[in-house]
Amino acid sequence: MTEPDAETTPLASPENPAAARARRGRNLAIALGLVGFVVLVYLVTVFRMGGNVLDRPL
Is the distance from CB of 6 to CB of 12 less than 8 angstroms? yes
The pattern of x and - marking residues 2 through 41 that bind other proteins according to CB under 8 A reads ----------------xx--xx-xx-xx-------x--x-
- Residues 6 or more apart whose CB falls under 8 angstroms from that of 13 comprise 7
* List 12, 34, 35, 44, residue binding other proteins (CB under 8 A): 44
Q: Could you give the CA distance from residue 41 to residue 27 in angstroms, rounded to a whole number?
A: 21
Residues making contact with other proteins (CB under 8 A)? 18-19, 22-23, 25-26, 28-29, 37, 40, 43-44, 47-48, 50
